[in-house]
Amino acid sequence: MCSEDQDIERNEAYAEGRMSGAERDAFEQRLRTDPPLVEQLARYRETREGVVRCVHERERAM
């Protein structure tokens, strides 16, 4: 698995609260020193929020 794929998986796990304490601490340390990772995490969160919003709108429309 390439580094970018691993970052995507880590972003997902972090945003969804699925990391252990040690994993979370290490990821947060990396966020402090890796601006592209911060941007990638922000894009992941925005995309996820959009998908969730879309699903909720569809459910209400049914």
CA distance 62 to 60: 5
Amino acid at 30: R
Quote the longest CA-to-CA distance of the chain.
45
Please give the pLDDT value at position 1: 64
Between 53 and 62, the more confident residue is 53
Angle, alpha carbons 39-43-45 (nearest 5°): 115
How many domains is the chain built from? Answer: 1
Please provide the DSSP assignment of 1-62 as one string: --HHHHHHHHHHHHHTT-S-HHHHHHHHHHHHH-HHHHHHHHHHHHHHHHHHHHHHHHHHH-
**Domain carrying residue 16:** 3-61
For residue range 2-58, list pLDDT tens digits in order. 677 788 899 999 999 999 999 999 999 999 999 999 999 999 999 999 999 999 888
